Amino acid sequence: MFNDLREYLNFLRGHNLLVEIDDEVSLDLELAHILREVCYNNGPAVIFKNVKDCLTKVVGNLFGSLDRIDNILSEDEISRRLEYFSNILKTRYRGIQDIVKTISEFGKVGKALPRKVGSGPVHEVEWKNIDITKLPAIRQWPGEKARFFTMGITFVAYDDRINFGYYRLQVVDERRMIMHWMPWRKSREIAEMWSDEVPVAIVFGTDPITMLMASVPIPSPLDKVFITGLLRGRGIDFVEGKSVKNVVYPANSELVIEGVVKLRDLVPEGPFGDHVGVYSPVLKYPIVEVRAIFSRDDPIIPVTVTGKPILEDGYMMIFGERVVKNLLKCIASEIVDLHIPPSGLGYVYIVSIRKKYPGQAKRVMMLLWSLVPVLGKIVIVVDSDVNVRDLNQVMYMIAAHVDPQRDIVIIPRYPTEELDPSTPIVGYGSKVGIDATRKLPEEYGGEKYPEDVKPDEETMKKISNIISKILKR
């Protein structure tokens, strides 16, 4: 595990996956355009050492390839680390052996719990002159009217509840930002337990697993901080806010902005060129008043860019898919696999199931929509023998096994993501589910469903050598 961003950067540097640039680059359009082209062309991570009107170094494209995601945490390792949690949920306590096994699993899980520490690298430097315009907020598209922080992780807490995630932040002036906090976000839900002022910490550059997990919508009631600890192999070390009370954040971060969100102080935010590839509408969001800035010596601040896929957020989505898939298996044992194609923007889910009873595909659709209501605009359900990442197989199942009247479910007037440009009312649209599974007799008028054609095994064995000779030519 990489303990912080710098360990990860050293790894990238040692594997020739990091380039450091001395040329002067502007935060206005230039830096974003460079990072998009680098990511589209499968390029390395980039550290910009000479950013105009910026007091820090800037790093981008940290997660811009599948190999980089695998180097942080492979799919098999994600499954293994979440297995401890799954085993506890599944144990039926048939005897003393099950109890002993569960105690052992609890020991492993206990290491994932967060802990508070007195100090950390993020508090090495206190910034006496507070001016967030000197930090790497970028303007990345010509139609944007302001600069935005794109990779700041907002931490919010209330009592023992802590949550964190990426929410873009539009810079207003030296001490104020606008928090793009959509109503359905879990962090917004926690924030609204406060009255008017919500203490927050906006963190830049913690360890890579925590950075990746900030983008993952963990289904309720599971706890993101705990799941992150499981994946890290140990819990997050938190320090307490110094200028604002009742907020904590990772001690190993590069920089933190402490402040308060004025929930009732709403101002227009946007437009912003979003991951959907269009400008998001101008809507009102709350103001953040900055109270303090702390950092490590010579901090390195991450940024990310948006646009039509696949960019860095698409590879981060693959990481999230792997995590969510394993958690869903804990909740619904019939789920075999889940694919959230990066080109589908998080709006298309393809899920395979072990089908045992009529209507089961529709039940799985409803489960997915209930857990993460605004995502998964289109859910396609296929049988367990279908590779959900092979779109040829998926398209075949849709073509061969979908009767539109029977197998397509449309739910009108449903919450959607505000960034989805297809909905006539922002944040309020519809869902469609496609049951592309083979049908049981109860779903097929009481008749047996047509059988798949399969080759004769004896014949295939007999002619396999002939086929090999032909293909070798």
**What whole-number distance in Å separates Cα of residue 365 and Cα of residue 361?**
6
**What whole-number distance in Å separates Cα of residue 448 and Cα of residue 425?**
44
Task: Let me know if 274 is a catalytic residue.
Answer: yes
**What whole-number distance in Å separates Cα of residue 231 and Cα of residue 82?**
7
Angle at 29 between CA 266 and CA 66, to 5 degrees: 95
Cβ count within 10 A of residue 331? 13
| Structural Rg of the chain based on CA atoms | 24
Q: 221: Cβ–Cβ under 8 A, 6 or more apart, which residues?
A: none
Cβ count within 10 A of residue 453? 5
Give, rounded to a whole angstrom, the gap between the first and last alpha carbons of the chain.
47
Question: Which residue among 274, 407, 420, 435 is the active-site one?
Answer: 274
Residue type, 398: I
Query: Are 159 and 153 spatial neighbours (Cβ–Cβ below 8 Å)?
Result: no
Q: 342: Cβ–Cβ under 8 A, 6 or more apart, which residues?
A: 309, 310, 313, 314, 315, 317, 318
Give which of 17, 54, 7 is closest to 38, Cα–Cα: 17
Query: Are 301 and 206 spatial neighbours (Cβ–Cβ below 8 Å)?
Result: no
Facing residues of 114 across strands?
none
**What whole-number distance in Å separates Cα of residue 248 and Cα of residue 251?**
9
Cis before residue 412, ω within 30 degrees of 0? no
Query: Are 174 and 130 spatial neighbours (Cβ–Cβ below 8 Å)?
Result: yes
Q: Which residues are catalytic?
A: 274
